[in-house]
């Protein structure tokens, strides 16, 4: 976060000095990186807090709120970059391409270091994945800025600056949309993408002592922490504790579920309302 913040300041100064929208666009993106990394750090610290009577699941959702805020900010900046690129495409200013090249090259090195730091955690957390993608996209845009700088330096074709800026904005939007969609899905208690609800139900029904399964729900507390609740109808001769243990073992082993709440019912028990 410290490296990104220092380079953000350098890009803002360099973008104003060189009149490069590409640098300013990348600086806007770097601003979301700083915010995203700060959100990620705060969310990690909050998630470490223990559950309380008021927050019985703890503070896991802080990570998802951070990812959501990061995505919303990034979409807004992307749209602004596209608007500024349109204005500059109509009347492109002269750009100090040599200075732009130097600043972008420094940024490339910083982004490569940031990617190395964040890469390991990006596979385990939506929050860290969002932060990693921020730095990855900055690395790619730094390469793009260098290419645009070379074009303007060698040919004097200053349309390269707004064209690249528009490319940065268009590159950010779809990736950010995916991050936003994933975060919203978790907040809406959607079924996790890595859990097949039909297969889960089928596996539970096949277990000894299970007659039927209804009101089956699976949701994510945060990335990689899935919870499940279900009503299980027992066969007449089933041993409740054995069935409960076999279900718990099966879903945790085969379906990436960390927390289970299972209501056991006898065949003659009539639920007033079945939801799913």
Per-residue pLDDT of the chain (276 residues; tens, 9 = 90+): 888 888 888 878 877 887 777 677 667 767 777 877 787 788 778 877 888 888 887 887 888 888 888 788 778 877 877 887 788 788 777 777 777 788 788 888 888 888 888 877 766 677 777 777 777 777 777 777 788 888 888 888 878 878 877 887 787 788 788 888 988 998 998 999 889 999 999 999 999 999 999 999 999 988 778 999 999 999 988 899 999 999 999 999 899 898 999 999 988 886 666 666
Structure tokens at 3: 């490296």
Helix or strand (DSSP H, E) at 18: helix 2-18
**For residues 98 and 14, what is the distance between their CA atoms, to the nearest angstrom?**
11
Structure tokens at 209: 């002592």
Q: What are phi and psi of 211, to 5 degrees?
A: -95, -35
**For residues 106 and 101, what is the distance between their CA atoms, to the nearest angstrom?**
9
Which of 131, 272, 253 minimizes the C-alpha distance to 215?
272
Cβ partners under 8 Å of residue 131, min gap 6 = 33, 36, 37, 40, 70, 118, 122
Q: HEC profile for 160-176?
A: HHHHHHHHHHHHHHHHH
Instruction: Report the predicted TM-score, pTM, of the whole model to 2 decimal places.
Output: 0.71
């Amino acid at each position: 976060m410290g490296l990104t913040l220092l380079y953000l300041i350098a890009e803002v100064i360099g973008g104003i000095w060189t009149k490069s929208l590409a640098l300013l666009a990348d600086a806007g993106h770097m601003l979301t990186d700083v915010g995203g990394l700060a959100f990620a750090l705060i969310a990690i610290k909050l998630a470490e807090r223990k559950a309380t009577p008021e927050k019985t699941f703890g503070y896991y959702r802080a990570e998802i709120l951070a990812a959501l805020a990061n995505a919303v900010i990034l979409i807004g900046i992307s749209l602004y970059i596209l608007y500024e690129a349109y204005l500059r495409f109509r009347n492109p200013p002269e750009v100090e391409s040599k200075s732009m090249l130097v600043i972008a090259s420094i940024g490339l090195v910083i982004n490569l270091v940031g990617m190395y730091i964040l890469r390991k955690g990006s596979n385990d957390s939506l929050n860290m994945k969002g932060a990693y993608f921020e730095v990855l996209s900055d690395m790619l845009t730094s390469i793009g800025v260098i290419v645009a700088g070379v074009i303007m330096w060698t040919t004097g074709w200053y349309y390269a600056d707004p064209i690249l800026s528009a490319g940065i904005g268009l590159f950010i939007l779809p990736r950010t949309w995916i991050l936003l969609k994933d975060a919203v899905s978790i907040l809406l208690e959607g079924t996790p993408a890595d859990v097949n609800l039909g297969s889960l139900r089928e596996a539970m029904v096949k277990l000894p002592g299970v007659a039927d399964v209804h009101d089956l729900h699976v949701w994510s507390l945060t990335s990689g922490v899935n919870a499940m609740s279900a009503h299980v109808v027992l066969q007449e001769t089933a041993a409740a504790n054995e069935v409960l243990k076999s279900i718990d073992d099966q879903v945790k082993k085969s379906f990436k579920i960390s927390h289970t709440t299972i209501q056991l019912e006898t065949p003659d028990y009539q639920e007033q309302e079945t939801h799913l």
